[in-house]
Structures are given as C-alpha cells and as structure tokens.
C-alpha cells in the first residue's frame, strides 16, 4: 500500500508513475475521500471536545442543586448521538479510503522501462550458449514421457494442468529441490523455513494478491463461523507474513528460503501453454525472501537475482535476464528482473524466475517493521523475493537441454550427487552411466 502522505504530496508524480503500469489513478476521487476523511475526523474530535466541556457544566449544575440525571439530560441532550454519528461517518470514510488504497498498485522505480507487455521487456544479459543438436530436439513432454512424466494420469486424478511424476523423473524433481535448498542455505546464507500451504485472507492482502487477484486463487471454505483459507500461490505469501504486525529488533537483512508446492487457478491463461508443465495448477518452487533496510533495497535485488542465476549457471542452463517494463510489472512490485531459460523444444527463452523489490509497499500493508537502533524508532522494512527456482520449469529445461538422440537424458554434473551418482536416465530399469558430460 502506498503512503497516503506520499500520494498527497506527490499526486501528479504518482499519477504519471502508475500510468506506466497501465493504471489510471483517480486523483479526483482520492482527493474527495481524503478531504472527507479529514472533515469527519475533525468533526468527531470537535464533538469529543464539546463532551469534555459539557462534563464540567454537569458538575456545575449538580453543585447548584440539580440532580445528576437532570443535569446530564440538559447538557448532553443530543450530543452523544452526534458523536456516534460523527464517529461512524469517520469510520466509513476511513474504510472507503483504505479500500481505494488497497486497490492501487505499487509505483515503479524510475529505471523501469515504459512498455505495454512482455514484448517490451528489456534484455540485460545472456548467459551460456544454446546447445547445437545433431538431431531434432523434442519438447519436455515427449522426452519425459518414457521416464515417468504422465499428464494423462494427472487429468484422471484431478483434471487438466496437473502432472504425475514417477521413477527417475520424480527423483530428479526431488533432487533439484534439495540441490537448490543446499545452495541457498550453504552458499548464499538463507535460513531454510517451513511454512503452511494454506493462508488466511489477511496474509494475501499483506503481500498484494488480494483483493485484486482473488480469481487466481484456490479458496477453501471453512466450517460455519470460521474464516476461509486459501491455498498459497507462492511461498512469498506465508514467508513474508512471518513479520506481519511486528516491530523486530533483528539484525538485517533477514534471509529466508522455503520449498513449497504452489497452487494457481490460471484464470487468465485459458488456451496458453496447455501442453506440458509450463503452466500448471500445482507446481513446486524454492522461494527466496529478504527483509532489508530501505537504503539496501535496490542493491539487494541485484544480489537476490544473482542467487537465482547461480542455480542456472551450476546446472549449465543457458538463460537471459530481462527487466520488466511497466505494463508487465506485477501489482506489488517496484522493479522486477525475469530470468528466462532456453528451451530447445520451443526454440525460445521462457520465464523460470521472477525477482522483485517491493520497497515498503508490502510492509505497510502488513505493518512489518524493525527498530532502528540509531533512532530507537520503528521503521517499515523493505521486502524482496524471487524464485530460486521454479522446480518444475527447471526440470523442463534439463529434459530439453540434456536430451540425447536415443531418448535418454544426461544428468547435469552438479545434480549427480543428489541422484546417487547417476549420470544418465534411460528407459532401461537401470540407468546407464555416461562419462565426461
């Protein structure tokens, strides 16, 4: 949520910056609600002041011989009702203004390029050279099916956009998760964290998924009298909310990594990526989250993105890094880098990680603060997160980039210790080893 004072003092700049995201900020409505809020609060405070004066008058009348009931009736007649009315009006306009603020996206940083969609994103770098194949490379669906990747079984059990993995594919998926967690905890300094896969509405409001994106979520109605829960779309939600409604006397940065399944309805993607694992209702991610001081926010984005890149580099998967344009930038993000891995089966780069800084936008919604030891005062944290990486899409990239003409798949060197030394998976019951890959 944006700071109301910041909006008030920079309304034209805010309007222009939000236009970069394709958001039309109604400054007239904001001004009306802001003025109404001030007026309602002033009226309620004025009536409370009158009530204090009236209390003194009641005492004077009682001293002159009037009964307490008569004195109160004479002085307070209608005042309590006016106070109640004024306070209710103030609460209503506060609620209306908060509802408006909750629907306003974060302001993009100045360096975010203008543009409408992913076609306008700006490439920052490329790493690695796509492999030259001596045969026509297949996509991951055809490569993975003989090794235990089954979409038909997923459809039988749950419907479209679900997969079942068995045998070596399931093992590689698990190995990738462990490899990523080990790198981020042992080499990059993150603390491994286990979190709930179901969260309440307040948690999703805190990170910005609600109220705008409810149709993208899987909602779990609870028993009568209980609040509904939602399946997490990403570990960003529960991990970031760990510091909600707190003032932390902690040494910054706080760095956390969590592996979770993620659940998305993909409500706006009908007809897109219907084949394979690119866009599933259920998928696994290893998520990186950092809480930092305001002055460290932008440099931390570079660091966090580098941690995700390190996974791709260790696996020797060619990728490119792009900065998202305003029109492709997420609701809560101030700046985002996407990492896109090369997929030979599609002959294109596809997103495998998004790394974002949110400034104090999420922290203000969650009231996540730290105590500055120099001033002794609470300050809003800055939050960042990124996929380090999406496990299923990393599996896709390995199947396509490491496929062989005979249908087998070489195992990346960095992953072999997590697969018992296996160098290649094949359709044979016992995978053959392959040296020097």
CA 116 vs CA 176, 324, 377: distances in Å: 34, 10, 41
426 is known to lie in a ligand binding site = no
Does the annotation list 272 as a binding residue?
no
Distances (CA, A) of 87 to 40, 41, 203: 8, 8, 28
Determine if residue 234 is labeled as part of a ligand binding site: yes
Asked whether the beta carbons of 168 and 402 are under 8 A apart, the reply is no
278 annotated to a ligand binding site:
no
Distance, CA of 39 to CA of 34 (rounded, Å): 9
Identified catalytic residue from 98, 174, 201, 279: 279
| 360-380 exposure pattern, b = at least 16 Cβ within 10 A, e = fewer | bbbbbbbebbbeeeeeeeeeb
- In angstroms, the Cα distances linking 407 to 142, 185, 260 are 9, 34, 31
DSSP characters over 170-224: HHHHHHHHHHHHHIIIIIS-PEE----SEEEHHHHHHHT-TTTTGGGSEEEPPST
d(CA 333, CA 385): 10
- Per the annotation, the verdict on 351 as an active-site residue is yes
Handedness of CA 192, 193, 194, 198 (dihedral sign): negative
Phi, psi of 288 (to 5 degrees): -105, 130
Is 393 one of the catalytic residues? yes
Q: Which of 364, 393, 416, 424 is catalytic?
A: 393
Two tokens, residue 149: 């990747």
Backbone angles phi, psi at 15, to 5 degrees: -60, -45
Active site residue 98: no
- The helix (H) or strand (E) run that includes residue 259 is strand 254-263
Choose, from 43, 298, 351, 379, the residue flagged as catalytic.
Answer: 351
Residues in the chain: 437
Residue among 355, 240, 356, 235 at smallest CA distance from 287 = 235
287 assigned to a ligand binding site = yes
Is 163 annotated as a binding-site member?
Answer: no
Other beta carbons less than 10 A from residue 395's beta carbon: 25
Q: Is 423 a catalytic residue?
A: no
Question: CA 435 to CA 437: how far, in whole Å?
Answer: 6
46 is in an annotated binding site: no
Q: Is 352 annotated as a binding residue?
A: yes
Active-site residue identified among 161, 297, 332, 354:
354
Catalytic residue among 37, 161, 171, 264: 264
- Tell me: is residue 311 an annotated ligand-binding position: no
**For this structure, is 279 an active site residue?**
yes
* CA 266/CA 279 separation, integer angstroms: 8
Identify the CA nearest to 105 among candidates 431, 273, 326, 389.
326
Q: Any known ligand binding at 353?
A: yes
Residue 266 annotated as part of some ligand binding site = yes
The reply, when asked if residue 111 is annotated as ligand binding, is no
Annotated ligand binding at 123? The verdict is: no
Residues labelled catalytic: 264, 279, 351, 354, 393
Annotated binding site for L-serine: 234-236, 264, 287, 385, 387
Annotated binding site: 234-236, 264-266, 287, 351-354, 385, 387
Annotated binding site for ATP: 264-266, 351-354
């Amino acid at each position: 949520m944006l700071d109301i004072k910041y909006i008030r003092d920079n309304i034209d700049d805010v309007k222009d910056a939000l236009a970069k995201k394709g958001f039309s900020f109604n400054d007239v409505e904001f001004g009306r609600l802001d003025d109404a809020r001030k007026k309602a609060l002033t009226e309620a405070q004025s009536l409370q002041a009158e009530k204090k004066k009236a209390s003194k008058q009641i005492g004077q009348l009682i001293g002159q011989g009037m009964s307490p009931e008569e004195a109160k009736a004479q002085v307070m007649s209608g005042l309590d009702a006016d106070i109640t009315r004024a306070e209710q009006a103030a609460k209503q306009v506060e609620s209306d203004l908060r509802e408006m603020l909750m629907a306003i996206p974060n302001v993009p940083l100045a360096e975010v390029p203008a543009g409408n969609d992913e076609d306008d994103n700006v490439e920052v770098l490329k790493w690695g050279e796509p492999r030259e194949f001596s045969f026509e490379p297949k996509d991951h669906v055809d490569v993975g099916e003989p090794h235990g990747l089954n979409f038909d079984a997923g459809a039988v059990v749950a419907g479209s956009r679900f997969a079942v993995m068995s045998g070596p594919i399931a093992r590689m998926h698990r190995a990738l998760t462990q490899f990523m967690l080990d790198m981020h905890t042992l080499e990059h300094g993150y603390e491994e964290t286990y979190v709930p896969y179901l969260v309440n509405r307040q948690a999703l409001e805190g990170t910005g998924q609600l109220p705008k994106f409810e149709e993208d979520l899987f909602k779990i109605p609870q028993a009568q009298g209980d609040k509904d829960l939602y399946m997490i779309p990403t570990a960003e939600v529960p991990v970031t909310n760990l510091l909600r409604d707190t003032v932390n006397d902690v040494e910054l940065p706080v760095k956390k990594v969590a592996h979770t399944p993620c659940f998305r309805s993909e409500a706006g993607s009908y007809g897109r990526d219907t084949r394979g694992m690119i866009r599933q209702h259920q998928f696994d991610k290893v998520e990186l989250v950092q809480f930092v001081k305001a002055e460290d926010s932008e440099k931390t984005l570079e660091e966090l993105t580098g941690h995700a890149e390190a996974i791709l580099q260790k696996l020797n998967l060619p990728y490119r890094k792009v900065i998202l344009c305003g029109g492709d930038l997420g609701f809560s993000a101030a700046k985002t880098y996407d990492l896109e891995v090369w997929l030979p089966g599609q002959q294109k780069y596809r997103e495998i990680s998004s790394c974002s800084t949110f400034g104090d936008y999420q922290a203000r919604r969650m009231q996540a603060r730290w105590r500055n030891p120099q001033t002794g005062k609470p300050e809003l944290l800055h939050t960042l997160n990124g996929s380090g990486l999406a496990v299923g899409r990393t599996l896709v990239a390995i199947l396509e980039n490491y496929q062989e003409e005979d249908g087998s798949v070489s195992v990346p060197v960095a992953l072999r210790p997590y697969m018992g030394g296996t160098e290649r998976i094949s359709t044979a019951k016992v995978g053959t080893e392959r040296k020097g890959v």
